[in-house]
Amino acid sequence: MKINTAVIATGNPYKLHEIGEILNGFSIKIMSMNDVGLADLDIIEDGNSFEENALIKARTVMKQTGYMAIADDSGLEVDFLDNEPGIYSARFAGENASDEENNEKLLRLLEDVAPDRRQARFVSVIAVVMPDGEYFTVKGYLYGTIAHRPIGQNGFGYDPLFIPVGYDGLTLGQIDGKEKNKISHRAKALEKMQIIFRERLGDGKIKDSSTR
């Protein structure tokens, strides 16, 4: 099996950079969708959960390339909104919505909500699918609150609105990228992925089909 190479199954350049930076220490060659000629591949994410969507992406890319595929599905869950936008985070304000449009909709829905009721969390599920079809998933969280207005130019998506717990009012949009990579929901999921690689990938075979 081609386990010395992994394709990161995303067309989002920010996610590609973030995941690539975190995976920099792995002894696995990391390739992008563009590297394997799949830059224009349209994957329909019609799952009902982050796990299902991550697996859809990873399985599709693995079948197209024959390489191990790593896919992330992530989003924002806001307590006051019954965990919305959730899996619809990227298109909260409609198909092809911009980050600004999604942020504006979120702020409108929370316009009169008090600070102590603006709790939220970022969720990331990483799916790893091997060339023989074996797979596992891991999940990471970053807890915080939603600010009353966008602050900061770093990151993407809802980062300018999200204040992580313990950061004294700073949004992810104000936090340095390297620091964000240390605390992010993806970083926490990838840490779990690294442990599984070390424990179960030594012989090139994932021993359990699913890990949560």
Q: Is 73 a catalytic residue?
A: yes
What tokens were used for 138?
């891991």
**How many Å apart are CA 14 and CA 150, to the nearest integer?**
19
Count CA within 13 A, CB hemisphere, residue 200.
17
The tokens of 67 are what?
A: 């390489």
The radius of gyration computed from the CA coordinates of the chain, to the nearest angstrom, equals 17
- Residues with Cβ < 8 Å from 150, sequence gap 6 or more? 103, 160, 161, 171, 173
Task: Return the structure tokens found at 190.
Answer: 């990838």
Cα gap 103→93, rounded to integer Å:
8
Alpha-helical (H) ranges within 2-152 are: 13-22, 50-65, 99-109
Catalytic residue (one of 73, 79, 132, 168): 73
Catalytic residue positions? 73
